[in-house]
């Protein structure tokens, strides 16, 4: 807007007032939301996500105990009135730890998806598709390099090799600013895991957006916008983006489940979120030993059921969104 | 067509250089000194220094990377830091074969269950069976390896004692069943949904009506006409599902104690056995690139319309 000259600005405003592409696209979303709320699977998915992540957000108030509070008189006990889901091998409340783990998962998942998939992925996809030429080749080739890497292997490698350095940065940041407790809260872990996951989640979205943009680029309404003199930026983000968005929403929703699962896998391998900060992955790892499975299944059941439900809910919601937003592909 | 294949094959070495460089940088600046790891905590500083010289770890970054690439070109992947005196090649190659067998078994499960499920749901589209089966496939998708494995182990190995808890006795043994099942189930969902979408599309075509009208049995129509035409998009997902299988292998092989490359990868990252990590990353990258090339070629073979636009980056 700022960069365009005055004349073209006036023209664009005029066109927008007459032909309302934004108005129509908002209509699409309202319509889609209405249809979504008539589908049982969507409602089911949204409800589970709200309950689980809502619990995670409210963890400090909801959880009966702190995630690290030990009750050494009640070690590895089954469910009771005091500890609804029992206690683990050092007497920590399983329910409280599960709720706090959900907060961990929520932070990592939303941060990774918001930056990796949405900001980086959509922007690069728009640039590759609309600008074409060298920019297109460059972005897509870099994407191919990322795709050729065994994703999880590199994420593990990144987490294992980069973390000590990030830990140092956070420590020196603590010293420089006088803010305490960052290391203890696991800020370094969050940064590393989030960075590694974000680095790999942009490629799929970028490819999808690029495909959409390439086919939209030659449509009359985009050509018209360009002829009027709209800036490249404006064409990309005001005209191409809203029209390319529906399939992206579906893919990102389904990707939420995958990213949530990836956080669990990393912590399960022991390179994700480090104790004492609780994570569903480390809870599963602690409980999966055969003898514990047999004698104290209450340790592993809560995290496993919660992870399964969470991924299932995201997939259900993605599926429902797909039905609503991509009606062509429906039966 | 030939030009396209050549271009893609020429891209492979470029890609391998980039991939190996990034991995090498991570290993070089990562924590841990392989010499210290190998000698243990009680080693004298002089001994560590001697070993560092022996392994070439005292040279600067570019010399080390250069000599790695030169050795790689000549087919020498170096020696493992941890398994003393064993070359990476003899360490990795037998494990590649084991992981390949496991991957094939898992893929057979995904395809063998997913495609029939997809055909059934497409045929019965809109009925309760369709909804139920599609939801069921989503449930499969939502049970990653680390969720399904403990359950299967508890039920089949600990309680019933049918399958061994862990280990590997080759392709035709009971030790294969649980790992392959665990790795294959998440893929069923993708197969089912893709087959369904594709078959729904095919079912509405005129030639299907013609086939039915001329009195062919429903089984013949499904097998000869629907499946064959619906199969095309499915080929593409096979290439993509390879990535999922490799990722599943890390966890599955670790849980079930299978001596494949997935477990080796996890172990080597923790023990900072960088030559092994490098070799594994390069092997997997090569397989991915070749598999994707194969898929693109198959796609062009199955659908002549796509041949024009196989490599369309950078065109306006």
Instruction: Identify the pLDDT of residue A148.
Output: 73
- CB-nearest partner of A161 from B31, B125, B142: B31
Instruction: Identify the pLDDT of residue B303.
Output: 65
Instruction: Identify the pLDDT of residue B304.
Output: 63
For A157-196, b/e burial (b = at least 16 CB within 10 A) is: bbbbbbbeebbeebeeebeeeeeeebeeebbbbbbbbbbb
Give me the helix-helix angle, B145-152 and B177-203, nearest 10°: 130
- Residue A22 pLDDT > 70: no
pTM (predicted TM-score): 0.78
- Residue A10 pLDDT > 50: no
Give tens-digit pLDDT for A52-85: 888 888 878 877 777 777 777 767 777 776 777 7
Distance from C-alpha of B39 to C-alpha of A311, rounded to nearest angstrom? 44
Ranges in chain B, pLDDT < 70: 1, 32, 236, 240, 302-316
Write out chain B residues lying below 8 Å of A253, CB-based.
Answer: none
- In this structure, how many other beta carbons lie within 10 angstroms of the beta carbon of residue A1? 12
The mean pLDDT value for A183-205 works out to 79
Name which residue leads in pLDDT, A308 or A26: A308
- Residue A19 pLDDT > 60: no
Residues 246-305 of B with CB under 8 A from A: 246-247, 250-251, 254-255, 265-266, 269-270, 277, 280-281, 284-285, 288-289
Give tens-digit pLDDT for A104-129: 888 888 888 888 888 888 889 888 88
Distance from C-alpha of B181 to C-alpha of B156, rounded to nearest angstrom? 12
Give the ipTM of the model, two decimals please.
0.75
Distance from C-alpha of A304 to C-alpha of A328, rounded to nearest angstrom? 36
- CB-nearest partner of A153 from B31, B281, B315: B281
Instruction: Identify the pLDDT of residue A15.
Output: 43
Mutation test of the interface with chain B: which of A153, A280, A288, choosing the one with the most B Cβ atoms within 10 A? A153
Average of per-residue pLDDT values in chain A: 78
Query: Out of A23-27, A155-159, A245-249, which region has the weakest mean confidence (pLDDT)?
Result: A23-27
Do A115 and A197 form a contact (C-beta atoms < 8 A)? no
Give tens-digit pLDDT for A275-284: 778 888 888 8
Q: How far is CA A151 from CA A77, A271, B273, in A?
A: 39, 15, 19
Q: Report residue A331's pLDDT band, with 50, 70 and 90 as the boundaries.
A: very low
Q: How far does B147 lie from chain A, in Å, by closest CA?
A: 6
Write the secondary structure of chain B as one string of H (helix), E (strand) and C (coil): CHHHHHHHHHHHHHHHHHHHHHHHHHHHHCCCCHHHHHHCCCCCHHHHHHHHHHHCCCCCHHHHHHHHHHHHHCCCCCECCCCCCCEHHHHHHHHHHHHHHHHHHHHHHHHHHHHHHHHHHHHCCCCHHHHHHHHHHHHHHCCCHHHHHHHHHHHHHHHCCCCCCCCCCCCCCHHHHHHHHHHHHHHHHHHHHHHHHHHHHHHCCHHHHHHHHCCCCHHHHHHHHHHHHHHHHHHHHHHHHHHHHHHHHHHHHHHHCCCCHHHHHHHHHHHCCHHHHHHHHHHHHHHHHHHHHHHHHHHHHHCHHHHHHCCCCCCC
Q: Is B27 on the interface with A (CB under 8 A)?
A: yes
- Residue A328 pLDDT > 60: no
Q: Is A141 on the interface with B (CB under 8 A)?
A: yes
């Amino acid at each position: 807007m700022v960069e365009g000259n005055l004349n073209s600005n006036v023209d664009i405003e005029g066109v927008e007032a007459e032909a309302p592409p934004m108005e129509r696209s908002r209509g699409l979303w309202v319509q889609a939301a209405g249809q979504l709320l008539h589908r049982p699977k969507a409602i089911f998915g949204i409800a589970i996500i709200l309950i689980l992540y809502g619990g995670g957000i409210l963890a400090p108030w909801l959880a009966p105990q702190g995630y690290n509070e030990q009750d050494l008189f009640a070690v590895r006990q089954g469910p009771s009135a005091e500890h609804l889901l029992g206690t683990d091998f050092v007497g920590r409340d399983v329910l409280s730890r599960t709720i706090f783990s959900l907060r961990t998962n929520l932070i990592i998942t939303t941060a990774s998806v918001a930056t990796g998939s949405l900001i980086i992925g959509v922007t690069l996809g728009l640039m590759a598709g609309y600008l074409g030429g060298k920019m297109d080749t460059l972005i897509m080739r870099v994407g191919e390099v990322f795709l050729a890497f065994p994703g999880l292997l590199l994420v593990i490698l990144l987490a294992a090799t980069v973390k000590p350095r990030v830990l140092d940065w956070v420590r020196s940041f603590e010293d420089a600013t006088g803010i305490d407790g960052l290391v203890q809260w696991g800020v370094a872990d969050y940064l590393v895991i989030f960075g590694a996951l974000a680095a790999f989640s942009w490629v799929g979205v970028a490819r999808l957006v690029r495909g959409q943009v390439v086919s939209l680029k030659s449509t009359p309404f985009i050509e018209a916008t360009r002829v009027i003199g709209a800036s490249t930026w404006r064409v990309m983000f005001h005209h191409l983006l809203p029209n390319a968005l529906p399939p992206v929403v579906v893919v990102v929703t389904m990707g939420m489940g995958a990213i949530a699962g990836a956080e669990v896998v990393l912590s399960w391998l022991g390179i994700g979120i480090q104790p004492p900060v609780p994570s569903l992955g480390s809870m599963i790892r602690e409980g999966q030993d055969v003898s514990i499975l047999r004698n104290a299944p209450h340790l592993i059941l809560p995290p496993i059921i919660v992870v399964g439900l969470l991924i299932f809910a995201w997939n259900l919601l993605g599926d429902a969104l797909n039905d609503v937003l991509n009606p062509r592909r429906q039966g | 067509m030939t030009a396209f294949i050549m271009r893609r094959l020429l891209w492979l070495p470029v890609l391998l250089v980039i991939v190996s460089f990034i991995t090498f940088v991570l290993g070089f600046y990562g924590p841990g000194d392989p010499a210290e790891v190998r000698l243990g905590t009680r080693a004298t500083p002089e001994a560590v220094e001697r070993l560092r010289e022996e392994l070439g770890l005292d040279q600067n970054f570019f010399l080390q990377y250069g000599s790695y690439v030169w050795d790689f070109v000549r087919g020498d992947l170096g020696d493992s830091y941890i398994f003393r005196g064993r070359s990476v090649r003899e360490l990795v190659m037998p494990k590649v074969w084991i992981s390949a067998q496991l991957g094939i078994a898992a893929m057979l499960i995904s395809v063998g269950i997913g495609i029939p499920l997809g055909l059934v749901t497409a045929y019965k589209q809109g009925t309760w069976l369709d909804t139920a089966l599609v939801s069921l496939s989503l449930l499969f998708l939502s049970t990653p390896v680390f969720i399904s494995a403990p359950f299967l182990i508890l039920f089949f190995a600990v309680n019933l004692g049918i399958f061994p808890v862990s280990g590997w006795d080759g392709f035709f043994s009971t030790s294969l069943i649980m790992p392959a099942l665990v790795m294959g189930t998440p893929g069923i969902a993708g197969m089912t949904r893709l087959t369904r979408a594709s078959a729904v599309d095919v079912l509405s075509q005129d030639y299907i009506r013609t086939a039915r009208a001329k009195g062919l049995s429903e089984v013949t129509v499904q097998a000869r006409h629907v499946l064959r035409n619906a199969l095309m998009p499915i080929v593409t997902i096979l290439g993509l599902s390879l990535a999922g299988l490799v990722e599943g292998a890390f966890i599955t092989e670790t849980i079930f104690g299978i001596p494949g490359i997935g477990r080796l990868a996890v172990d080597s990252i923790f023990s900072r056995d960088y030559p092994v990590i490098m070799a594994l990353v390069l092997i997997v990258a090569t397989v991915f690139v070749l598999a994707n090339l194969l898929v693109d070629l198959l796609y062009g073979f199955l659908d002549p319309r796509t041949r024009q636009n196989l490599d369309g980056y950078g065109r306006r």
